Amino acid sequence: MEQEKFITEQHGNTRSLFRFLGPLLLIVGGIMMLVAFIDLFTLQGFEEPKYFWLFFVSIPVLFIGFMLSGLGFGGSIAKYQSREYAPVAKDTFNYLAKETTTGVKEISNALQLENVPTQSLVCPDCNQQNPVNAKFCNECGEKLVRICSGCKQVSSNDSSFCNECGTSLD
């Protein structure tokens, strides 16, 4: 299966036409504008300019010339600009990456610390928070866990059955 070319022959021909017509219209429009200015500034006394109308014709011709030149040479200009800007963008990115590393790490650590769930056991009698590995309440001394008589595994105080072997804790 042959891959279709991105820039077709018709596209290349159109670009070549724009590259020819654009500068040609710029030159023609510039000459017309120059003739109109010379005619305007070389007037003697109260004469009327003969070629004043060239101002009105040359402005659209110049505009079309600029547009066609932009279309014809736009790809070359964009490539040139990207080659000019790429090293600056790379240096800026590398500078920002280097200089903001500690700040990003601090923010990341703060977010991780904020999202860590604080696990604790709550005493059923006095509602005191206790460490996860505590077997008795720090406030009232009540048992916080149950120990299975069959396998000696620790289960939470509100469990009815052992988490390890399934034996009834009641």
pLDDT tens digits for range 128-137: 888 877 888 8
Phi, psi of 136 (to 5 degrees): -135, 150
Which tops the pLDDT comparison, 126 or 24?
Answer: 24
What does the alpha-carbon distance between residue 132 and residue 154 come to, in Å, rounded to a whole number? Answer: 12
For the whole model, what pTM was predicted?
A: 0.51
In DSSP terms, 143 is beta-bridged to 136
Question: What are the structure tokens assigned to 65, written together?
Answer: 């010339």
The string of pLDDT tens digits covering residues 89-122 is: 999 999 988 888 888 888 888 887 765 556 777 7
